[in-house]
């Protein structure tokens, strides 16, 4: 007959009690993640950008959470001014209506502890239970070294914050561009990460994934090309710039490739649900239109409806003419199109969107020539690209 286990010796008892106390303390910190949904405190990074601001507006309109926004500025007053400038740019009343729940903090994700004083950083880490990290340098034309401070170092500092004082949920906005390298298919030919932005997001995403592997509550969102239907199209919107340039040029290339064009509303709603319901069952979610636009069967016919005289050319014949056309317009955004729209563009588009399923809870309706023609008409009417 086996004997009952002996009680701990007098020497081991203090050590056992110490471990039990440490375990209770850790469980208490994890339980704090389950605070009442009406008593949430969130940290937003990137809230002055288009995706970040629309996320902020959606959370203000549909939750009662108190939101701390980290904004690059000289002081907190200027940080709040920058938020109001974004609200005006995107024609949103959410900040003026619910601004009493928003705290603007002058800080920078690229700096350790966001550049905050130690006492401010500690207090913020103790108050916040979840971070929505949308801050990034999203330029498609700068090198990896220029993207690194905001996109890689910034993410590392957000990860440090997520572990400081107590564990916090992390919702990280990545990019579908990381599909251009797939570590799960090493035998498959890769077209490479085609710009510094995609490279930096790939590195940052791997850091966040390691964070999740250690059991910390994390969701990564690989987000495609977002269509944000506001009155004045953002001058940094690449596809909008390209289509307006083609209409002005009167020529367009012929090729077949899926082009993502995802309405932002579904992405905003899904992130809000994950944050407010603390849904960390899926660490990685891919968020793009499940039925991408086909360049040849949808985009080109839509352009031809608006410009019936549009000349269609093979891609290899079009590209040198396009580069020559761009020389007419000195604006930097226009000039950078020659670095983005190259002979590799169709291959890259097929690699990113052709074989990757979407995880959107409510997929948007498929585009057709009629619906996309109206989208392009809106671009032409409102977009100021020259």
Cβ pair 227, 243 in contact under 8 A: no
In whole angstroms, give the CA distance from residue 69 to residue 154. Answer: 15
Bridge partners of 311, per DSSP, are 251
User: In the prediction, which pLDDT does 6 show?
Assistant: 44
Cβ pair 64, 182 in contact under 8 A: no
In whole angstroms, give the CA distance from residue 132 to residue 323. Answer: 39
Quote the Cα angle for 332-336-338, to 5°: 140
User: In the prediction, which pLDDT does 356 show?
Assistant: 73
User: In the prediction, which pLDDT does 237 show?
Assistant: 73
Low-confidence ranges of the chain (pLDDT < 50): 1-10, 12, 16, 19-20, 23, 27-28, 30, 185-192
Cβ pair 202, 183 in contact under 8 A: no
User: In the prediction, which pLDDT does 141 show?
Assistant: 72
Show the tokens assigned to 301.
């016919």
Tell how strand 130-133 and strand 41-45 pair up.
parallel
The topology (CATH level 3) of 29-223 is Rossmann fold (3.40.50)
**pTM given for the model:** 0.84
User: In the prediction, which pLDDT does 193 show?
Assistant: 54
User: In the prediction, which pLDDT does 27 show?
Assistant: 46
Cβ pair 207, 200 in contact under 8 A: no
Greatest extent of the chain over all pairs of C-alpha atoms, in Å: 95
Domain parsing of the chain, residue ranges: 29-223
What secondary structure, in 3-state letters, does the chain show? CCCCCCCCCCCCHHHHHHHHHHHHHHHHHHHHHHCCHHHCEEEEECCCCHHHHHHHHHHHHHCCCEEEEEECCCCHHHHHHHHHHHHHHCCCCHHHHHHHHEEEEECCCCCHHHHCCHHHHHHHHHHCCEEEECCCCCCCCCCHHHHHHHHHHHHHHHHHHHHCCCCCEEEEEEEHHHHHCCCCCCCCCCCCCCCHHHHHHHHHHHHHHHHHHCCCCEEEEEECCEECCCCCCCCCCHHHHHHHHHHHHCEEEECCCEECCEEHHHHHHHHHHHHHCCCCCCCEEEECCCCCEEHHHHHHHHHHHHCCCCEEEEHHHHHHHHHHHHCCCCCHHHHCHHHHCCCCHHHHHHHHHCCCCCCCCCCCCCCCHHHHHHHHHHHHHHCCCC
Q: Can you say how many angstroms the Cα of residue 229 is from the centroid of all Cα atoms in its chain?
A: 17
Q: How far is CA 55 from CA 28, 107, 272, in A?
A: 30, 19, 8
User: In the prediction, which pLDDT does 367 show?
Assistant: 93
* Overall residue count recorded for the chain in this entry: 386
In whole angstroms, give the CA distance from residue 89 to residue 228. Answer: 12
User: In the prediction, which pLDDT does 189 show?
Assistant: 41
User: In the prediction, which pLDDT does 357 show?
Assistant: 82
């Amino acid at each position: 007959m086996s004997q009952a286990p002996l009680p701990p010796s007098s020497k081991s008892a203090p050590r056992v009690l110490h471990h039990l106390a440490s375990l209770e303390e850790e469980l208490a910190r994890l339980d704090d993640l389950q605070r009442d949904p009406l008593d949430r405190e969130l940290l937003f990074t990137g809230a002055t950008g288009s995706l970040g601001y629309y996320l902020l507006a959606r959370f203000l309109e549909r939750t009662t959470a108190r939101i701390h926004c980290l904004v690059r500025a000289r002081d907190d007053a200027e940080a709040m001014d920058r938020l109001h400038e974004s609200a005006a740019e995107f024609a949103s009343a959410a900040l003026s209506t619910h601004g009493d729940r928003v705290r603007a903090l002058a800080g920078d994700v690229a700096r350790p502890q966001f550049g905050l004083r130690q006492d401010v950083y500690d207090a913020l880490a103790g108050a916040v239970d979840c971070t929505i990290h949308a801050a990034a340098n999203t330029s498609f034309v700068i090198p990896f070294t220029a993207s690194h401070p905001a996109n890689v170092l910034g993410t590392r500092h957000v990860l440090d914050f997520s572990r400081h004082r107590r564990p916090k949920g992390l919702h990280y906005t990545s990019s579908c561009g990381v599909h251009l390298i797939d570590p799960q298919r090493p035998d498959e030919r890769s077209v490479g990460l085609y710009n510094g932005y995609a490279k930096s997001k790939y590195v940052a995403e791997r850091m966040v994934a390691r964070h999740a592997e250690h059991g910390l509550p994390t969701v990564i969102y690989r987000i495609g090309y977002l269509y944000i239907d506001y009155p004045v199209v953002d001058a940094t919107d690449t596809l909008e710039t390209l289509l307006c340039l083609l209409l002005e040029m009167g020529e367009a290339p012929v090729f077949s490739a899926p082009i993502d064009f995802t309405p932002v509303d579904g992405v905003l709603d899904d992130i809000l649900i994950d944050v407010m319901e603390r849904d960390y069952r899926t660490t990685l979610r891919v968020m793009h239109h499940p039925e991408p636009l086909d360049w040849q069967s949808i985009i080109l016919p839509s352009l031809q409806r608006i410009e019936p005289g549009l000349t269609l050319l093979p891609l290899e014949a079009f590209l040198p003419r396009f580069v020559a056309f761009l020389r007419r317009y000195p604006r930097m955004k226009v000039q950078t199109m020659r670095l983005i729209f190259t002979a590799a563009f169709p291959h890259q588009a097929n690699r990113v969107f052709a074989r990757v399923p979407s995880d959107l809870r409510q997929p948007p309706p498929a585009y057709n020539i009629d619906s996309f023609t109206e989208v392009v008409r809106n671009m032409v009417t409102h977009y100021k690209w020259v």
